[in-house]
Each structure stands twice: as C-alpha cells, then as structure tokens.
Amino acid sequence: MGKVITVWGSPGSGKSMFSCILAKALTRDKRKAIIINAEISVPMLPVWLPEQIIQTNASVGQVLSSVEIDTTLVASHVTVLKSYPFIGLMGYSAGENPLSYPETKYGMVLQLINAAAKLVDFVILDCGSNMTNVFTPAAIEAGDLVIRILTPDLKGVNYLKAHQPLLVDGRFHYEQHMTFAGMARPFHALDEMGYIIGGFNGLLPYGKEIDRCATEGGMFQAIKYCNPKYTASLNKVLDALEQMELAEQAVEEDPDDVDEFEEDDSDE
C-alpha cells in the first residue's frame, strides 16, 4: 500500500502548490504518486494542465458517484502528466460545478483513497478549506501523514480555531498534524501567530517565481524556485515519511520484537 499524505488548511495558504512540489520531490527516484483534489468549486484538472484537453469522463466526480470504487475504476480516471509520467492527477474537469454530480458520500471518499493507495507509492490528498465537503475530513482520517498549512495571520488562526472542534475525534489524529505557515511574508507576525496556534513546524514562504508558476499554469515547475526555508520545510516532510518507512521495515524484518513489546505493555 502506498503512503497517504493529506494536505489541508486555510484558504489561500498554498496547499495545492505544496502538493505539486511534494509530488515532484517524492518521485525524483521514479516512484509514483497520484494527487487527488475533490474541490468542485474550483476544478483542478484545467489548472494543473491548462494546455491539455481533459475529457469530462476523466473527472474524479465520475469515480465518486459510482456504485463501488476499485483500483480498475480509479486507474481509468487518472490523468498522467505528459512531461513527467510518474505523477498522476485526479480532479474535476473544466465546466463542472457542485450540481454536476450527486452529493459525495464519506464512505466513497475512503474507498477512492484506499484504491488509489494500491496503485502507487504515494497518494497526495489536496484538500479544500471547506469541511462540509466530506473529502476533507475523510482525507484527514485516511492520512498516514497529515500536513496542515495556515496563512500566518488572523484569518489563518481563526480558521484553525473554527475547525479544530470538528476534528476532536481520535480518528483525525489532530495533535499529530505537521503545521506550516503558508504564503509567509516578511511582514507577518510569525512568532505571535505561531504562539497562538501552538507553533509552526516550518515556513512555506511566498515567492514571486512560485506565484508565477501558479498563475501561468506551470505548478509542477515550481520546485525549481523554492527558497531555503521552503526547501527545509519540504525536507521535514520527506524525513517524516522516511522515518515511517524505516519503522515499517523494522517491523517486517523482526515482528517478534513488536509482539514482545505488546505483551510487556499489556502486563503493565
């Protein structure tokens, strides 16, 4: 099973751009990744691929409105980057809107994520900011690693305060999320904002070149323009994933140690 990485947070914090940059970083060694965005208010396929004609039947909406989701269905709705075949994309197509499909069911989102994880090494879930879109809470529940990106201002802080009560259930692992300040600029009161929310794990600073990639339809080229602080934050995510993989390998190589630990723990 591939690792599931969930990216969520406040509006305008650079979540989709970070998802693209992360996908490029994770696939440098030719491992494969799928980015899934199910925010229908802004169909992402034409944003990711402005020069590529995408058929409506490639839409993630076709998958989420199916009776049952399996790997064959998901694979048939993945659009692969022509210039970089190790990254696949799933999102809504140009012209689609919230009335294009029936209401998405929470369980169907979990089926989609599970099926995608069977196809590739990494599944990156690029979430919308609206929690009433069930894709976002389902993605947070399903994530092996959850990344929270907030603008380091009062909007970002109050977004988090408003949504924290919705994620108190243990299945969301709220306290384990990595938190980054997105679109951070020199005038932001980073220390003060960080103190209010419990601290940032790193910064994802605003950059003119990265912003140009977003506006010109070249989001997958932006990794070339990450400044040292952005790269440091990206490396923290890569390191966290590597540690997870090492821990799993250790369990596979010597499962007896885990059994013994569990027995000792239960005796206490």
Q: What is the mean pLDDT of each successive set of 10 residues along the chain, which is 268 residues long?
A: 97 97 97 96 92 77 96 95 93 91 96 98 96 95 98 95 95 97 92 92 96 93 96 98 92 68 50
Residue 268 resides in a domain:
no
Report the pLDDT value the prediction gives residue 56, as an integer from 0 to 100: 64
Structural domain count, the chain:
1
What is the domain range of residue 111? Answer: 3-234
Please state, in angstroms and rounded to a whole number, the distance separating the CA atoms of residues 77 and 88: 10
Report the pLDDT value the prediction gives residue 57, as an integer from 0 to 100: 76
Residue 208 resides in a domain:
yes
Residue 35 resides in a domain:
yes
C-alpha 170: how far from its chain's center? 20
pTM of the shown model: 0.92
Report the pLDDT value the prediction gives residue 128, as an integer from 0 to 100: 93
- Distance spanning both ends of the chain, measured CA to CA: 33
Place of tokens 């912003």: 211
Report the pLDDT value the prediction gives residue 179, as an integer from 0 to 100: 97
Q: What is the CATH number of the domain that holds 123?
A: 3.40.50.300
79-80 and 87-90 strand pairing: antiparallel
Residue 222 resides in a domain:
yes
Helix, strand or coil for residue 183? strand
**What's the number of CA atoms in the CB half-sphere (13 Å) around residue 150?**
27
Provide long-range contacts, Cβ within 8 A and 24+ apart, for 203-208.
203/229, 203/230, 203/233, 204/13, 204/14, 204/18, 204/149, 204/180, 204/229, 204/230, 204/233, 205/229, 205/230, 206/14
